[in-house]
Structure 1
Amino acid sequence: MSFQAYLDAVETKTGLTPRQLLELARERGLAEPGVKAGAILEWLKDDYGLGRGHGMAMVHVIQKGPRIDSKHVGTDGAHRDESDELWLDGKATRPGA
């Protein structure tokens, strides 16, 4: 599953775009430097029922932003993505969707 597919599934499961979840994390102080992934995962599980895999995709976005390692871009592996920039504004608005 691509990184973008994880984020799309997060949107489906929560009804919120990744950007909306990022803003909520900021409001809760979970996007501050030094916040552990476990705290973010606990919030996502308790409030939205997200499991570890989908939660870790959001942890990456919250802690590191929308850019991912380009080693998977354009490959044919299981974790391939079309771009090293993740789309956070919802599946319906993604260019080419």
Structure 2
Amino acid sequence: MFEHTSRYYNLETARLTTVDGRVIAYKRRRFLPQGTSLPLFTEVTVTEGDRLDLIAGQVLGDPEQFWQLCDANNAMDPAELTSEIGRSLRIAPPQA
């Protein structure tokens, strides 16, 4: 259902059978981890023009892993992480 690099990959797939017999597959809810509970890999300072995908590409080797920066910094809105120049971002090691 999801690529192995997706934040939803390891979530259990559940099934719902409707009254007319259709089976609908869906992923269970993902709860955000506490960023401070994740081990610290490194920190980066936000500079002018930074974007999460660029930072993830440089530090984690994959721009699609930007969500891991969100998890490490307790961010529901990815844009908030790069909105303040000089902000320090926690980077956790890539999650399996």
Fold equivalence (TM over 0.5): no
Max Rg structure? 2
Higher strand share: 2
Higher helix share: 1
Higher relative contact order (CA 8 A, sep 6+): 1
In the superposition, the TM-score normalised over structure 2's length comes to 0.28
